[in-house]
């Protein structure tokens, strides 16, 4: 937050000073994966940043090798006079998220980026919490513990689907944890010393078991 009473230019310089100070004294730039920003903030009161600020953030990201991500879910699709709000600042982000207007009210969203970035995604690593899955009705967690719940299309708990997923894990010599009062939940609780290879193996098994079960439903 900038101190009250500043002009736009003073706010811009203050915000950039604080960002550069953060990258110099608080976090190492090489440890920062991305800077995520909304080009025109909607929920905060339709706040429009200065061109200098947005362009300077782009320069800071380029200097340190940090990805710049623009959230165009609210401000995109012509709402600022141009197709994308970023075009008003003559800035091209590395990644852009869009939604809402993309499907005229239907639950749909998209991530737009360059082939160099998108080709780094492996199959199954990009998903959503409530992405229209026909059998997974809830995803929740805290820290390293995550749980999901399986349900039928009518919303009723589906311990039968969970049982089939569990059977698929057992066939792969993996033990699973049950949770939930309805016996339809699956819990993931990884140790602090878990290896990436172990996580990848578990996720691969989950994709195989859950997909085989879901798409085999009548």
* pLDDT computed for residue 13 by the predictor: 94
104-130 residue pLDDT tens: 666 678 889 999 998 887 655 566 555
* pLDDT computed for residue 54 by the predictor: 96
In this structure, what are the phi and psi dihedrals at residue 216, rounded to the nearest 5 degrees?
-95, 0
CATH number of 8-118: 3.40.640.10
The crossing angle, in degrees rounded to 10, of helices 159-171 and 196-214 is 130
Domain ranges of the chain: 8-118, 136-214
Pick the CATH number of 136-214 from 3.90.1150.10, 3.40.50.720, 3.60.20.30, 3.90.79.10: 3.90.1150.10
Q: What is the mean pLDDT of the chain?
A: 85
Report which listed range, 103-112, 139-148, 194-203, is most confident: 194-203
pTM: predicted TM-score of the whole model, two decimal places: 0.59
Tell me how far apart the alpha carbons of residues 159 and 146 are, in angstroms, rounded to a whole number: 18
15-62 residue pLDDT tens: 999 999 999 999 999 999 999 999 998 877 788 999 999 999 999 999
* pLDDT computed for residue 125 by the predictor: 58
Task: Please state the rounded mean pLDDT for residues 163-190.
Answer: 87
Mark residue 155 as left, alpha or beta (left: phi above 0; alpha: psi -120 to 50; beta: remaining): left
């Amino acid at each position: 937050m900038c101190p009250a009473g500043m002009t736009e230019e003073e706010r811009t310089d203050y915000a950039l000073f604080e960002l550069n100070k953060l990258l110099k004294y608080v976090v190492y730039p090489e440890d920062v994966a991305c800077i995520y920003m909304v080009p025109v903030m909607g929920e905060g009161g339709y706040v429009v940043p200065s061109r200098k600020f947005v362009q300077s953030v782009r320069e800071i990201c380029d200097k340190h090798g940090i990805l710049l991500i623009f959230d165009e879910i609210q401000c995109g699709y012509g709402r600022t006079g141009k197709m994308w709000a970023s075009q008003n600042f003559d800035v091209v982000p590395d990644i852009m998220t869009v939604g809402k207007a993309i499907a005229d009210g239907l639950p749909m969203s998209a991530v737009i980026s360059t082939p160099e970035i998108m080709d780094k995604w492996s199959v199954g690593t990009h998903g959503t919490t409530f992405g229209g899955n026909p059998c997974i009705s809830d995803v929740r967690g805290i820290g390293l513990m995550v749980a999901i719940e399986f349900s039928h299309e009518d919303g009723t708990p589906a311990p039968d689907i969970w049982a089939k997923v569990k059977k698929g894990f057992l066939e792969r010599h993996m033990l699973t944890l049950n949770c939930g009062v309805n016996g339809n939940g699956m819990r993931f609780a990884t140790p602090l010393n878990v290896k990436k290879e172990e996580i990848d193996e578990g996720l691969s098994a989950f994709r195989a078991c859950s997909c085989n079960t879901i798409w085999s439903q009548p």
